[in-house]
Amino acid sequence: MAEVNGVPICSWDPWPEPLVTKSQLSKAGFKPGPLRAVVRYSKSSTGDGYLHLFNPDEGIRRKPPTEKQIAARAKRKADELKARTCPQCGFVYSKRHIRLNGGICEECWWGVKATNDRQAVAEIVAQVLQGGCVILDMETTGLYNAEPVEIAVLDHTGAVLFNSRVKPLRPERLSVKGEYGETATDIHGITAEDLANAPSFGEIYPALYEALHGKHVVIYNEAFDLPLLTATRQEWYCPSFGYEQSSCAMLWYAQFCGDWSSYFQSYRWQPLPGGDHSALGDARATLEVLREMAASLNEKTQEKNHAMPNV
């Protein structure tokens, strides 16, 4: 029989009785005695391995733990369990998959983040409304190389500062089908014939400048409307509107709704609630969204006041 350092190498099945492994001895309350045999087994990634075998009759009885040791062991187990347990939802992660973030599980952590982000954006919107802003919305000839065909501007109180249709330089683009087979006219209902007698962008520019100049302009999907408005102004050789700053209500509302996308690592954009695909209607719907976000601060304050004990 083959040997390793004077210890015989046995086959896996069957290995000689009554030899047992170190783990089996430990479970029975014994420490191993002299090594009596080894069993060779195949490890696919690292080659052969050896399992050590011992005679149970030669095992050394372990001393029973003292009360202090028992208490210390119980405390370690309790601490280890606490480290894997979310204090908010009570979910316990396995030892190999501890995923607590800031002391709470990932799901609860995202819930806390969404709540904090919702509160933060509501405070921003409330400040913007309190400081005064204008809401801009446009309907266009399409998504690419587009021109505005309808523009509306409201102030933060809902008063209409500007509302007009606009005759584009290329009205034929209204009937060009987009990626999903729809034309711009299919979406907002405005045809080239409807714009035949509408003023040009150059004609409406002075009034639009008056509505936007020096203002904080809020747009639902700023990334689309603002470059389009700038390109149209430049095509007509009109000076800058000179607004104070611009903000995207769509990004605010996405953060307020808190629907997180792990793929994009951002909050999912939401359709404009209450929009009717007219410039004035969508501007009013945007204002209502802003008011909804700002109103959530008042609701939270009222909840805190109700929760406070009377003194």
Q: Are residues 134 and 29 in the same domain?
A: no
Together in a domain, 85 and 177: no
Strand runs labelled E in the chain = 3-4, 7-10, 30-31, 35-43, 47-54, 60-61, 134-140, 148-155, 160-165, 216-219, 245-248, 260-261, 266-267
- Kind of pairing between the strands at 35-43 and 47-54: antiparallel
Look at residue 292 and tell me if it is in a domain: yes
Q: What is the pLDDT at residue 240?
A: 96
Q: What is the pTM of this model?
A: 0.69
Question: Do 203 and 137 sit in the same domain of this protein?
Answer: yes
Model pLDDT for residues 251-309, shown as the tens digit of each residue:
999 999 999 887 888 999 999 999 999 999 999 999 999 999 999 986 655 444 444 34
pLDDT at 306: 40
Q: Cis before residue 16, ω within 30 degrees of 0?
A: no
What total of structural domains would you count in the chain?
Answer: 3
Q: Could you tell me if 260 and 122 lie in one domain? A: yes
What domain range includes position 75? Answer: 67-104
92 and 49 fall within a common domain: no
Residues 198/166, Cβ–Cβ less than 8 Å: yes
Q: Are residues 32 and 125 in the same domain?
A: no
Give the model's pLDDT for residue 310.
Answer: 40
Per-10-residue mean pLDDT, the chain, length 311: 74 80 87 87 67 88 85 88 77 65 72 89 96 96 92 97 96 87 90 94 97 97 96 96 96 94 89 94 97 84 43 30
SS3 state of residue 291: helix
* Structure confidence at residue 96 (pLDDT): 52
Instruction: Give pLDDT, residue 98.
Output: 56
Task: Kindly state whether residues 54 and 185 are assigned to the same domain.
Answer: no
Cβ neighbours of residue 40 closer than 8 Å, sequence gap 6 or more: 9, 12, 48, 49, 50
User: Do 205 and 292 share a domain, yes or no?
Assistant: yes
According to the model, what pLDDT value does residue 155 have? Answer: 97
Same domain, 57 and 75: no
User: Is the domain of 57 the same as that of 149?
Assistant: no
Same domain, 160 and 192: yes
